[in-house]
Structure 1
């Protein structure tokens, strides 16, 4: 599906968290499962993406992570001890096992062995960039958290290191939420490893988020409870249609190689159903392409999931406008009744201002969508 001699693009926790946030999008599921480079695909479709991390942020994040993990992770382990396990002994002389191996499968097996050995040995152990495997819709995904710490009591903790600052002990809630959803994917993968051991170690549901303090490069940490994110992410990933089922429904010979002619590539992409929502703009490289298609078809999902949920069985803007104008729809339907009430109030307000409703609708093609937003 990627095309001949095109290497697979590995899934990471950020992509899985975005996929779990929109489990109804079969298009993203098959493209991610097949390892397609969606950024290159979007450019080939004529809708290049601006989604992604800046090079400056990437370099700054790597430099900060190296500082946090210096001296065998002494500062990182101190923060874990201070924030999550102050009752345990001090993490002096913690073990940092070598996790090198060939290929992601080999690294995942080496990580599982290191976790088992550290749990049996007791004491503090720091796993720097371990490799975890997680089954997603029948396709394996290999994930690499920043760090995993094994506590003296055998518990496992995920550590997320980010470059956004903690200002006066707090950070941007949106960025913290994104980090929590990403960490929830790592926790799910760790739980699969733990389930293979007897007795199963406890995977802690609080992660350590490490960020620069204020405007310095000094590390500060906060314990983040991710029970909600873990439950939601696990439930959403379980709802994903298996990759094989989506692939079986594709036309024979469907291919998503960016080297294909635009018409052929567009036909292959459109053969898979998408579930566009405005939130996709900050999470998916194909968002601009899907938004254009959604707007062209008049789908109400372009207005956002809340509006889509309020409109019930009305799937297009044309249907919404017809229902609001009394030309279609069941008057006993709560959504239709609310739309007609909103249209009447709008007409009353415009009439009071001396503006003919017809003139406004004709002059502003997008004005009809306002009716769909009214309630």
Structure 2
């Protein structure tokens, strides 16, 4: 009697690199803490400061920085007011009413793309799916179908995926319009007014940087579609209230400069897995830990603080306190930091200016010593003038 044939022993496959990274990032957030999704505004701020490994790791791991700042005892007044949020939602609903007829008319007027859309003829596909990955896949399929449909299509709050430092970020623009010529246009709907055809330059610049992130995500979608490749416009449509009314008006904003800068800055970001690999064993940013433990965990990741962070990062007040305590010159501004070369602390700058340290052939050291000498000369002249009873301004 022959032995029965035995089933081959199944050896479980080792976890993939992506799975291991997800587990590691989940450990950093804390047990059962959901990941906080990255939005385009956060990505634009991250791209503006690519040297900050702390923000890259926390954003890549999905850590709620606002909750972390509260636990550290340094909360920041950051974000949009409830009134502004409700007003923005109401204005967006008005712009997209009647199947987006007014939005498509504005797109045709300011961007073009084919014949003028007739009321009710545009397609508005259903983009609902399970999870962000499912919604991103459904959006890619809808974009492919709309590109070859030969008509107008409005994608309301599509989901786009963008690779950031080795981890996917899921983004949700206000709208993407596909024209009959197959071109794609990103639409940004904002509640700040456009008076006499012009809006606040600072707010327009922030909207352009945010829209550039969406265009980058659409580039990755377009690269995966079969030929012929769709035409992705580098001009986005900014829709705002007209003057002091609630009527929508629009302008086409060229984002080629923002695209170039954001693409270059995101490419400079250190991969999240490389930053996580350098952390001490057991490091976590779970807000249920004590403030001392969280302070130690945050301090284990290098940061690059600058005053501009106060308008873009929830941890800015904590990082500012630590930067000032360490005497870092970055707390005085990036432009000053760039001019000082290898001098990174205020103490080192003062020592170099007084001649105690520093290479005299270093242009930064030479400029500091020259400025110190001029200051001493001006002060001595003012003192002599006061002694003689002559006004110092003379």
Q: Distance in 2 between matches of 1:322 and 1:122?
A: 69
Return the offset for 1:352.
2.2
Q: Does 1:188 align with 2:220?
A: no
Q: Please name the residue that 1:84 is paired with.
A: 111
Return the offset for 1:310.
0.4
Aligned residue pairs, count? 355
**Mapping of residues 24-173 of structure 1, within 5 Å:** 24-85=51-112, 88-92=114-118, 93-173=121-201
Q: Distance in 1 between matches of 2:41 and 2:277?
A: 27
Return the offset for 1:355.
8.8
Q: Distance in 2 between matches of 1:218 and 1:310?
A: 47
SS at match of 1:353: helix
Instruction: Give the alignment partner of residue 22 of structure 1, picking from 46, 49, 58.
Output: 49
SS at match of 2:372: helix
Deviations 1:296-317 (A, max 9, x none): 0000101111000100111100
SS at match of 1:168: coil
Q: Does 1:342 align with 2:371?
A: yes
Deviations 1:34-61 (A, max 9, x none): 1100001001111101111111111111
SS at match of 2:239: strand
Instruction: Give the alignment partner of residue 340 of structure 2, picking from 311, 324, 339.
Output: 311
In the superposition, the TM-score normalised over structure 2's length comes to 0.89
What are structure 1's unaligned runs of at least 5 residues? 357-375
In the superposition, the TM-score normalised over structure 1's length comes to 0.93
Q: Please name the residue that 2:389 is paired with.
A: none
Q: Please name the residue that 1:288 is paired with.
A: 317
Q: Distance in 1 between matches of 2:290 and 2:245?
A: 50
Q: Please name the residue that 1:13 is paired with.
A: 40
Return the offset for 1:349.
1.8
What are structure 2's unaligned runs of at least 5 residues? 1-27, 386-394
Q: Does 1:275 align with 2:267?
A: no
SS at match of 1:28: helix
Deviations 1:213-242 (A, max 9, x none): 111111110100000101110111111111
SS at match of 1:27: helix
Instruction: State the 4+ residue runs in structure 1 displaced beyond 2 angstroms.
Output: none
Q: Distance in 1 between matches of 2:351 and 2:288?
A: 43
Q: Which has the larger radius of gyration?
A: 2
